[in-house]
Structure 1
Amino acid sequence: MEISMIILFIVGYLAIAMEHITKVNKAAVALLITTCLWVLYALIAPESAPVQILHQLGEVSSIVCFIFGAMVVVEMVDRYGGFSLVAHIIKAKNRKLLLLILSALTFFMSATLDNMTTTIIMIAIMYKLIQDPTVRLWFASMIVLAANAGGAWSPIGDVTTIMLWVKGNVTSEAIIPHLILPSIVSLVVPLLLSLGKISGNALDDPNAGAFEEGERLYPQVTRIEKAIISAVGVLGLVSVPVFKALTGLPPFMGVLFVMGLLWLITEIMYTKHKEISESNKLRIPKVIKVVDIPTVLFFFGILMAVGALQEQGLLKELAGKLDSMTQNVYLVTGIIGVLSSIIDNVPLVAAAMGMYPLADPVVVEAGTYAAAFVQNGIFWELLAYCAGVGGSLLIIGSAAGVVAMGMTRISFGWYMKNITWRAFLGYIAGMVTYMLLF
């Protein structure tokens, strides 16, 4: 039965990869995969399956709610011109310089914000500046790479680094100085290799992509009101990590609070603007209708599918086989990084943390294989780097990639042909940089 689960996942994964050929929406495939995998798991463990599926549903739903809420908030800010203002502030005169600026902003933003939120915000800004569909694909891809690289060196930048940090496997004093340069290298290499694909010296007109609805609203809705909506949305998203730290509640609660606050503000605002026709009122319900729900469902399906594999113990078995094959820390973490582009990096890192317990530096001899597993050991730092940056190797290998896939229509095949090899060279270059430094 376990073999059947593996085969089913692989077949489904291939179907998702060939979406541009089959013309079957990846969300449909993901939902079918997850249902079939959980049915197989229920046949294997009929007593525990109902409990475990609820456990996985809780974790996955929190992520899906976060994505949905963030997409609604960003769409709301965008509709009211919030990102147009940022687009006007960026003074780049050519596309290549703009790509470098947006990549750098994304890299450092994702060190404090989560990768998904950073990607959503930066792609929304990019849309105000770039109108060419093909160029947008390159920009969005580099934003994904920058978001994943930026989240790898910060203890709060990515879910996996947060896991390692909270559990005490790494400390902020060590991971930041040790991983920031390898992370920069992992981004700079594919970025430089992609500049040749970005042609044109003149920047697209930032006003070319203005939202028609926003233009119709402009005479009635004041600039102050638009500024308030934009400020509440952006500052609300930026403050989500603070909300989590203060309350201990999951991030999606913070995002839902921001969405509810924007909803309340716009409802009150439109009670004063009775001259605006109902069809032109940009309330939250209207914005929700244009959010890419299939992408949200795809994310739900693929995470639940991976959850079924995790509950069956297949991911932990995979980690065990890696350990039995070799005790080379660089090789093991490198393979985990590559796998994180196929399988969600969160359960992979969780499996690795369970497979390799934190070693006591008092009883471990320096320079031995076991020394790599002490706090701030090579294994844990490389695990943070590889799991984060490795997710960029495939477009569906990270939350940032999945979000970008929905927002810009990047196909799996296009990304694999144009970005994967560039990202892989950057991934290896970053690891080599770490090896030379430490």
Structure 2
Amino acid sequence: MEEMLNLTHTWVGYAVLAVFVIGYYLIATEEKFEINKAKPALFIGTFSFMLIGIYFALNNLDPTPLHHEMQKLIEEIAEIFFFLFVAMTYIETLIERGVFDALRFRLISRGYSYKKLFWITGILAFWISPVADNLTTALILSTVLYTIDKHNTNFLVPGAINIVVAANAGGAWSPFGDITTLMAWTAGKGGFIDFLMLFPAAFFGWLLTSWLLSIFVPKGEPHFDALTTPKVELKNGAKVIIFLGFFTIFIAVVGHILFHFPAMWGMMFGLSLLQLYTFYHKRKYKEHINIFVNMSKVENDTLLFFFGILSAVGALAFLGWLIYVTKLYEIIGPTWANIGVGFISAIIDNVPVMAAILKANPPMGIDQWMLVTLTAGIGGSLISFGSAAGVGVMGRMRGVYTFFSHMKFAWAVLAGYILSVIIWYIQFEILGLY
């Protein structure tokens, strides 16, 4: 598209770029201005195309290329939007059925030490995020962590960082564990198995960071009073819904691989199964599970932020700005550029960074696309607000897990990041195991 039409050095090119920069400043400083990041993101995404439409009308240009670009963009966004919507609906239903409350009770009632709880929550984050997503996983487990002991910051801060790093690392090796990996998967930059091959790099990088953080976790165990703490049990149907959730992911993957369906199609089929089960559940237990109420609890601001930021990046790509991203890859080479993406995604959210790279589409093999998927996923852990998981935990543990408390241990996160890249290089470039 850039070869056919380049509008970077027109008034609309500069205007859209300015709107993006100003809007993204508001997104990055949402706590300062107390504005939800979805609001400026949705504005810049939609307004950018309004400006492009005005430019086309004033200059009597054929709108066909613009319409074609918008249709492609809508399809790309819809695939991921509905995928995440169904996943979040399942998570909210599991919360309503008491699955995570029961998990929290079992952890605090068994007399585990702080160090053991540190490792358990980290391991759970690493293994749950590939199936759920890193944001939801981090929110749930940080809530569990905070309810264990609200006052012991020496335990809470390393534990929170561990959860963020584990959730991002776990999401990096699953096609649907993070928005960035989901974007790369649906864009056809790698097959399902290709993403799974990132497991060694993601796992050992997190393990090193976790081990370094564990040194600072205090000894002893949190207080638990069995007499005053009521026991929490799973509600009726919880286990069936857990099974349906895993089955939905399975159907989405199989449909994508065998039939080349969009992954969201299998997810929507899974949502229909959940709806049908609630009908059966009501007849059997005389209890109504209202899926539409659970849907209302889905983080719509996250979905709208995603829509807005991808639309904004799509506008920049249509105007021709992302040609410069491709040129950067040509100058310094894909390996160093993709390693740098991890540091950029720590400062700028990894979603627009990955969206820009996918739109620019520099010529790379599967090995390099897997590297940028890895670095964009785990690089956000370097700074507290570098990933959706980190931002979510900062909000959930306000005043405890902060930018400065995270930066005290940033060296441990950096050590894990470097190890992950080294493992990728050995596995993909030297051994060719992918």
Place the TM-score, normalised by the shorter chain, in its bin.
0.7 to 0.9
Residues 1:52 and 2:69 aligned together: yes
* Deviation of 1:283 (Å): 0.9
Identity across matched positions, percent: 26
Match runs of 1:103-118 below 5 Å? 103-108=122-127, 113=130, 117=133
Q: Quote the offset at 1:320 in angstroms.
A: 0.8
* Distance (whole Å) between structure 2 residues aligned to residue 12 and residue 224 of structure 1: 46
Deviation at 1:384, TM superposition (A): 4.0
Cα drift, residue 235 of structure 1 = 4.1
Report 1:210-225 matches (<5 A): 225=237
Task: Give the whole-Å Cα distance in 2 for the aligned partners of 1:23 and 1:147.
Answer: 26
- Larger CA deviation: 54-63 vs 43-52: 43-52
Q: What residue in structure 2 maps to residue 347 of structure 1?
A: 355
Q: Does the aligned pair in 1 maintain the 2:80–2:183 contact within 8 Å?
A: no
Q: Is the aligned partner of 1:147 residue 2:167? A: yes
Any conservation in 2 of the 1:147–1:400 contact (CA below 8 Å)? Answer: yes
Structure 2 match to 1:65: 82
Q: For residues 416 and 49 of structure 1, what CA distance do their matches in structure 2 show? A: 44
> 1:232 — aligned with what?
244
> What corresponds to 1:389 in structure 2?
378
Structure 1 contact 96–195 (Cα < 8 Å) conserved: yes
Per-residue CA distance 1:405-437 (angstroms, 9 max, x = gap): 6984779x9358626945445323433555678
Residue deviations 1:142-196, cap 9 Å, x none?
43422332344567863366479x557x9958983xx544433432354345447
Equivalent of 1:334, from 309, 334, 339? 339
Amino acid at match of 1:284: I
Amino acid corresponding to residue 40 of structure 1 in structure 2: L
After TM superposition, the structure 1 = structure 2 runs for residues 193-204 of structure 1, keeping only pairs within 5 Å, are 194-195=213-214, 201-202=220-221
Equivalent in the alignment of 1:367: none
2:337 paired with 1:301:
no
Determine the C-alpha separation between the residues in 2 that align with 1:233 and 1:207.
32
Find the aligned partners of 1:238 and 1:156 in 2 and give their Cα distance: 11
Alpha-carbon distance in structure 2 between the residues aligned to 1:253 and 1:399: 25
8 Å CA contact 2:30–2:37 kept in 1: the answer is: yes
1:414 equivalent to 2:426? Answer: no
Contact 1:129 1:206 in 2 (8 A): no
Q: CA deviation at 1:76?
A: 0.7
Deviation sequence 1:208-264 (CA, Å, 0-9, x none)? 9x9x9x98xx9xxx9653433343235434653234334432222233223332222
CA change 1:298–1:174 in 2 (3 A) is closer
Match of 2:202 among 171, 180, 183: 183
Contact 2:139-2:393 at 8 Å conserved across structures: no
Equivalent in the alignment of 2:4: none
Distance (Å, rounded) in 2 between the aligned partners of 1:416 and 1:311: 39
Structure 2: segments with no counterpart, 5+ residues: 1-11, 58-62
Instruction: Give the conservation status (yes or no) of the 8 Å contact 1:137–1:408.
Output: no
Contact 1:340 1:348 in 2 (8 A): no
TM-score (norm 1): 0.72
Measure, in 1, the Cα distance between the counterparts of 2:173 and 2:296. Answer: 36
Q: Is the 8 A contact 1:186 1:429 kept in 2?
A: yes
Contact kept in structure 2, 1:152 and 1:161, CA below 8 Å = no
Matched residue SS, 1:314 = coil
| 1:375-422, Cα deviation, whole Å (9 max, x unpaired) | 65xx455434323322444567556567x46984779x9358626945
What corresponds to 2:49 in structure 1? 38
Q: Is the 8 A contact 2:161 2:406 kept in 1?
A: no
Residue 362 of structure 1 corresponds to none
Aligned length: 395
Q: In the alignment, is the contact (CA less than 8 A) between 1:81 and 1:230 conserved in 2?
A: no
**Please, which moves more after superposition, 333-342 or 294-303?**
333-342
Instruction: Return the offset for 1:33.
Output: 1.7
Match of 1:427 in 2: 417
Residues 43 and 427 of structure 1, relative CA distance in 2, 3 Å threshold:
farther
Task: Supply the AA of the counterpart residue of 1:418.
Answer: H
* Counterparts of 1:303 and 1:312, CA distance in 2: 14
Q: TM-score, normalised by structure 2?
A: 0.72
Distance, in Å, in 2 between the alignment partners of 1:254 and 1:7 is: 39
Are residues 7 and 434 of structure 1, via their aligned partners in 2, closer, same or farther at CA, if it must alter by over 3 Å?
Answer: same
What aligned pairs does 1:306-321 form with structure 2 within 5 A after superposition? 306-321=313-328
- Alignment partners' CA distance in 2, 1:52 and 1:410: 41
Counterparts of 1:257-296 in structure 2 under 5 Å?
Answer: 257-271=269-283, 281-296=288-303
Aligned residue number for residue 82 of structure 1: 99
Residues 246 and 138 of structure 1: CA distance in aligned 2, closer, same or farther (over 3 Å)? farther
Of 262, 276, 290, 1:250 maps to 262
